[in-house]
Structure 1
Amino acid sequence: MPLLVEPALSVGTLRGLSQPSLGVDEELRLRPWCGGDAAMVQAAFGCEHIQRWHVRRLDALDEAVEWTAQWEARWAAEEAVSWAVVDGDDNPLGQVGLRSISLTEGSAGLSYWVLPAARGRRIAARSVEAVCRWAFDEIGFHRLDIQHSVGNRASCKVAGQSGFALEGTLRQAIRHADGWHDWHVHGRIRTDRQISQRVSSSPVPGEFTS
């Protein structure tokens, strides 16, 4: 059944490229995951906050190795992409990426988390802005979303710092260990004014999303 509109992004837009490393600022950059990051990933998913909002844990290092290895195939399938957020010494501090990529709509959802020891430095907001620059300016995405439980106040703050307008609430749209949660939907489109200069300098006590 043919579409009556042209896809916003053509098939092969991503898999025709190698996943890039992205500069964030003088302190941070984003790079593809590697097998050596597995121990950090396992430790990250041992954090009660990351477990709470991502609704999963990693019980063995082998599971963390599988987690880091999945992203090459998901990039090739043009369905998702993830980067390790690293400091100047290439130490991983967190994760940022795009999920539920739709080439037809030119859309995707943002995901991010930060290790407990690295929180309070706006790492999530800074990294999200770098991904937005790449997605909108280099690839040509039309829209990016951030969605999270209304109970995840830190993620809501990061969304606001990153220029994602709160567009509405979906009732009982996500289930966590303690039951159903309402779901905030934030959105940013390519024509929205760049907001990197407006990112707040105030610390964020926890930076993670569902």
Structure 2
Amino acid sequence: MTRTSERPLDQPLPELHGNGLCLRHWDAESDADVETWLRGTTDPDFRRWNTPLTAVTTLDEARESLRTRAAQVAQGSSAFFRITDEDSGTTLGHIGINEIDPVLRVARVGYWVLPEARGRGTATRALTLVTSWVFAERSLHRVELGHALGHDISCRVAERSGFRHEGTLRDAMFEAGRHDAFRDVHLHARLATDPDPGAGPRR
């Protein structure tokens, strides 16, 4: 068996199955994926809690955004997944492991869920699934999760997924819709040695 510490970070992303979900890769050449990416990143609730460095407002910008992420996956610095329902294949949202540092074995995780998929534990199930995978298959030791202060739903998702609250980071995130003002961030993290709150992924 290949040891996880020997697994290259730039190997192709597998599909992850578990918790009633299938995590698939985004396809920048798929019109359906591009349209869903645009809808998710322009949703008012997403914009309330997230301020991307580069705004995505058109289909062309959404496609370029997905192409940029595909390049990051190829470089091994990120792993992005389209959250889908295991049975129907319906897209429910997005989850990504970002800023992977293979030396410190640390990364950050972010996610969003489409309006029609909220209230069903989608984010919690996806977060548990992808974290178990990244510990087992990509040899990470620590995964961090930061959300804007006041985003109570994201706070509950983190805690239910085994991400302990570690403190508050002052002015660590842009204010909604602005790049000239900041807001505080709740920092959560989970270690590979922490208890696993759910079943791991199967391929």
Pairwise TM-score range, normalised by the shorter structure: 0.7 to 0.9
Q: Which piece of structure 1 moves more, 159-168 or 145-154? A: 145-154
**Among 186, 204, 209, the residue aligned to 2:188:** 186
**Among 11, 29, 52, the residue aligned to 2:22:** 29
Pairs within 5 Å for 1:64-143: 64-87=62-85, 88-143=87-142
Identity of aligned residues (%): 33
Query: What are the ranges of 5 or more consecutive residues in structure 2 without an aligned counterpart?
Result: none
**1:14 alignment partner in structure 2:** 9
- Read off the aligned partner of 2:182 and give its amino acid letter: W
Cα distance in structure 2, aligned partners of 1:142 and 1:72: 24
Describe the SS at the equivalent of 2:42. Answer: coil
Q: Which piece of structure 1 moves more, 32-41 or 53-62? A: 53-62
**1:49 alignment partner in structure 2:** 45
- How far the C-alpha of 1:70 sits from its partner, in A, is 2.3
Which deviations, in whole Å up to 9, do the C-alpha atoms of 1:87-142 show, x marking residues without a partner?
Answer: 12322110011011100011101100000111000100100111111111222210
User: How many equivalent residue pairs?
Assistant: 187
Describe the SS at the equivalent of 1:20. Answer: coil
**1:151 alignment partner in structure 2:** 150
- Read off the aligned partner of 2:147 and give its amino acid letter: H
Q: Which piece of structure 1 moves more, 84-93 or 97-106? A: 84-93
- How far the C-alpha of 1:9 sits from its partner, in A, is 5.5
Q: Report if aligned partners of 2:135, 2:192 keep a CA contact under 8 Å in 1.
A: yes
- Read off the aligned partner of 1:61 and give its amino acid letter: L
RMSD: 1.8
Q: Report if aligned partners of 1:33, 1:69 keep a CA contact under 8 Å in 2.
A: no
Cα distance in structure 1, aligned partners of 2:41 and 2:140: 30
Cα distance in structure 2, aligned partners of 1:163 and 1:90: 27
- Read off the aligned partner of 1:64 and give its amino acid letter: A
Cα distance in structure 1, aligned partners of 2:129 and 2:68: 22
1:72–1:180: structure 2 CA closer, same or farther, 3 Å change rule? closer
Q: Which piece of structure 1 moves more, 108-117 or 43-52? A: 43-52
Which deviations, in whole Å up to 9, do the C-alpha atoms of 1:39-61 show, x marking residues without a partner?
Answer: 11111122111012221442211
Query: What are the ranges of 5 or more consecutive residues in structure 1 without an aligned counterpart?
Result: 1-7, 198-210
- Read off the aligned partner of 1:81 and give its amino acid letter: A
* TM-score (norm: length of structure 2): 0.86
- How far the C-alpha of 1:32 sits from its partner, in A, is 0.3
Q: Which piece of structure 1 moves more, 76-85 or 176-185? A: 176-185
* TM-score (norm: length of structure 1): 0.83
Q: Which piece of structure 1 moves more, 110-119 or 146-155? A: 146-155
Q: Report if aligned partners of 1:108, 1:143 keep a CA contact under 8 Å in 2.
A: yes
